[in-house]
Structure 1
Amino acid sequence: MEVVWFVFFAVLLAGYFALEGFDLGVGLLLPVLGRTGGNRDRMVAAMAPYVLANEVWLVAVAGTLFGVYPLLEGEVLFGLYPLVVAMLLCWILRDAGLWFRRRLDGPAWRGFWDGAIAFGSLGLSVGWGMALYAAATGFESSPVHPVGLMLGMVVTLLFAFHGWTFLGWRTPGVFGVTRSGRVLLVSALVAALPALGVLAGAMPYLLEHSAPPATLNVLSVMALPFAPIMLGAQVWVWRTFRPGKDAFRLPSFF
């Protein structure tokens, strides 16, 4: 049962990087590709239908981490407390930018919230790289380390590339590039590589720190039946808002 839950946790974390990675990547590219207000509107509208569905994966990752690996809760929260708080603030800032950017008219208002989206996306991307470094060292090293910062930049570049590929798939030709669904899938796998690499190295440690078998059995009965529902909802979102639905013409996050 420990192996089953490890695989489930790995799928959730890799899925979050693969899915939320392009959301953050589009946010990172706002200052680069969104030179005009119309382009920024198209970029935000392109990812808008996927944002909330992708963030569900993070909630599932957190719930699985603290349910299946309760002994790590103290290490994660204590060792990464400043980083976790900073990432939560960046998450709030990014989402606030998505919701508020079209609440009022005016270039100054939209420019401020577009900057919030870009800054929040950057903070989350770098923060995830630093968190992965801390996890790879068994939470014994500070995430504020040259290697941690370097890994943060690697994750940021991978997310930016994934976001660029997503725009080429979702809005073909609008930003000078057209990508197929297969290329987007490859980009998603590449974006998930840092998480998969850390999990592969941490597998013995995680298996050793798993919850007791009785607890895992109860979690299996309570949580695993919802996995097909989450997966089905994700498939519905991708089928409903695939290219050709003209949703990218919407000028706002709604």
Structure 2
Amino acid sequence: MEIFVLAFFALGYLVLAGADIGVGMALPYLGRTPGERREVIAAIAPFFLGNEVWLVATAGVLAGLFPRLESELLHGNFTMVVALLLAWVVRDAGLWLRGRLPGARWQAFWDGAIVAGSWGLALSLGMILAGVLLGVGGPVALLGALVLAALFAVHGLAFAALRLQGALRARAALPSGPSSGGAGEWRTYALTSVALLVVGVLAGLRLPLEPGTSGPLLVPVVLALLPFLVAAQAWVWWTFRHRVSGPSYL
């Protein structure tokens, strides 16, 4: 049961947060003016905070239920973990601060922070996953990280194509190809989601998943909270199911 809980949160983070990471990576391509970039950011504005809960929950489950694995991952990937946290802070700072003051330079600086932070998140996650999957570091792991970063980018483009309209949707839908009714966009999003799930599962199979002694106490608590988390996520997706029609609060 402990393994199920860890897999649920870790895989959920890859699929859900992978979309807003990918949108941030593709921001210069999708949004070519300040107004367009703000509309692109509006596509992920209702979701990114909720998606980050899954990363926090994954870290909590690792520390509480798999202390040995948490220690090995932290010490074996210390540089990448620090890079991930820094990229997370930079990306979120960009999202929160870009619209707080007027001025093209101010907004351009924080838009750059969003892009840099998103790429940092994708590459640091990619390095960690590639290191686990391949069992090596260095250039080989970097190559694997670049492949995974490209997967995040395509995943984000598919998500953006489902959320945007007009010319922005057409740019985002490039990997999906021409289709009517958004079928190609949903197909691309589903395929990239499955690909991220496969990467996560394969990485999990290579990890020493030996639960600690706190499982009997913590697992019932986590299972009791899961329905509320899933219900909240479903509510957010249902509430913001329509395509973006203008800029958001960010």
Q: Output the CA distance in 2 between the equivalents of 1:17 and 1:179.
A: 23
Identity of aligned residues (%): 39
1:220 lines up with 2:219 in the alignment: yes
42-51 vs 218-227, which deviates more? 218-227
Task: After superposition, give the CA deviation of every residue in 1:1-45 in whole Å (9 maximum; x if it has no partner).
Answer: xxx221221121111010000100000001112111111011101
1:249 lines up with 2:241 in the alignment: no
Match in the other structure for 1:86:
83
Task: After superposition, give the CA deviation of every residue in 1:142-179 in whole Å (9 maximum; x if it has no partner).
Answer: x4x11211121112111110111111111144421373
CA contact (8 A) 1:41 1:252 kept: no
Name the SS of the counterpart of 2:99 in structure 1.
coil
Name the SS of the counterpart of 2:211 in structure 1.
coil
Runs of 4+ in 1 over 4 A off after TM superposition: none
1:188 lines up with 2:189 in the alignment: no
Where do 1:104-253 residues align within 5 Å? 104-136=101-133, 141=136, 143=137, 145-175=138-168, 176=170, 177=173, 179-180=182-183, 182-183=186-187, 184-202=189-207, 205-206=208-209, 209-212=210-213, 215-244=214-243, 246=244, 248-253=245-250
Q: Give how far 1:190 is off.
A: 2.3
Match in the other structure for 2:6:
9
CA contact (8 A) 2:162 2:186 kept: no
CA contact (8 A) 1:46 1:171 kept: yes
Where do 1:91-102 residues align within 5 Å? 91-102=88-99
Q: Give how far 1:137 is off.
A: 6.0
Task: After superposition, give the CA deviation of every residue in 1:44-93 in whole Å (9 maximum; x if it has no partner).
Answer: 01100001110000011101111111112322222222221111111000
CA contact (8 A) 1:30 1:40 kept: yes
Q: How many residues align?
A: 238
CA contact (8 A) 2:45 2:248 kept: no
Q: Give how far 1:251 is off.
A: 4.5
Match in the other structure for 2:176:
none
Q: Which runs of 5+ in 2 are unaligned?
A: 174-180
1:42 corresponds, among 39, 51, 54, to 39
Match in the other structure for 1:59:
56
CA contact (8 A) 1:122 1:156 kept: yes
Q: Output the CA distance in 1 between the equivalents of 2:60 and 2:233.
A: 18
17-26 vs 5-14, which deviates more? 5-14
TM-score by length of 2: 0.89
Letter in 2 for 1:201: R
TM-score by length of 1: 0.87
Q: Which runs of 5+ in 1 are unaligned?
A: none
Structure 1 residues 156 and 131, CA gap change in structure 2 (3 angstroms): same
Name the SS of the counterpart of 1:104 in structure 2.
coil
Name the SS of the counterpart of 2:45 in structure 1.
helix
Letter in 2 for 1:19: L
Structure 1 residues 55 and 100, CA gap change in structure 2 (3 angstroms): same
Name the SS of the counterpart of 1:113 in structure 2.
helix
Letter in 1 for 2:161: G
Where do 1:13-28 residues align within 5 Å? 13-28=10-25
Name the SS of the counterpart of 1:211 in structure 2.
coil
Q: Give how far 1:196 is off.
A: 1.9
